[in-house]
Amino acid sequence: MLAGLAVWLGCCGCRSEPKAIPVRTRVSVGKVLANEIPIRFYANGREIKEVHVDETPGAEAWIFEADGSAQGAIYTQPSVVAQVLTPCGWREVALQPATIMVREYSPTVPEEHAEYYYPSSYTEQVFWFWVDNRDGDEAEVRLGQAAYRLPAHKATQIMSYLPVCPEGGVVRFDGQEMGSVSREQLASRGPAQPTLFIDPTGKRCYNHRNVHYQAEELGPFTQAKPTRLSGQRLYVLPDRVTYMLEAAPSQEMSTSDELTKDVAELTDTRCR
């Protein structure tokens, strides 16, 4: 009994810590990936089931709700991570908070707001590729474990992560293997960004050519001798193709700091 009294007397002046309570938080993540790359979000370890995409030009974002927490006068926003599907499987991306993670809390505020951004180190690991499906119906193209739907009778440009594993570079079209590519083939080389181009039939013929513009208004232009492409299903072109399946114009408008400009075109040509 004396021991119990001592404990009671010793804690007479103690104050319990306020209990943490959940706070509804509207989360915004700057959208930097094309829609065809599958992405999912987790807040406080739980997957977010409903994600809204805001396509407002210049302010594109993924929007969803999650629980932050308030303990007394202190608010802590939710811990948010993303997972993206790459050719080598799902990969976790730690999102960077754009707002203060821990800040003053007011119970009169009905909803908190938290903003995150996607690290640039991850956006630098993506590339674009093209599939010429003008001769086919709706189809699926796979790069490793990443699958993308293709519309019928159309050439389509697709964003994907670079393959960082051998199996991630295997290209399949509707289940049929087309060949394989590597990260080294597709990674940027200074200003040059290689283009992966897929002709599922292997029967079409193309001309690939570089075009050089000079000021003023980046014209007139000069054209290099075209390189003929035929008989393959996969092509890794040495540069980003600006004009896909169309000829480059005779002039291009320049920005104030452009004195010259180089672009690439890929056009149809007759097969011999």
Average confidence (pLDDT) over 216-234:
80
Residues 196 and 147 reside in one and the same domain: yes
Quote the CA–CA distance of 209 and 224 in Å, as a whole number.
Answer: 6
User: How much is the mean pLDDT over the chain?
Assistant: 87
Residues 98 and 153 reside in one and the same domain: no
Confidence of residue 125 (pLDDT cuts 50, 70, 90): confident
Residues 73 and 187 reside in one and the same domain: no
User: Tell me, what's the pLDDT at 255?
Assistant: 54
> What does pTM read for this prediction?
0.79
pLDDT digits (tens, 9 = 90+) for 47-92: 999 999 999 988 899 999 999 999 989 999 999 999 999 999 999 9
CB 181 within 8 A of CB 233: no
64 domain-assigned: yes
Q: Is the pLDDT of residue 30 over 80?
A: yes
The CATH number of residue 62's host domain is 2.60.40
CA nearest to 60, candidates 38, 31, 96, 98: 31
Confidence of residue 110 (pLDDT cuts 50, 70, 90): confident
Residues 142 and 35 reside in one and the same domain: no
User: Tell me, what's the pLDDT at 211?
Assistant: 86
- Neighbour count for residue 254 (Cβ, 10 Å): 17
13 domain-assigned: no
**Is residue 229 exposed (0-12), middle (13-18) or buried (19+ Cβ within 10 Å)?**
middle
Q: Which residue has the tokens 């997972």?
A: 83
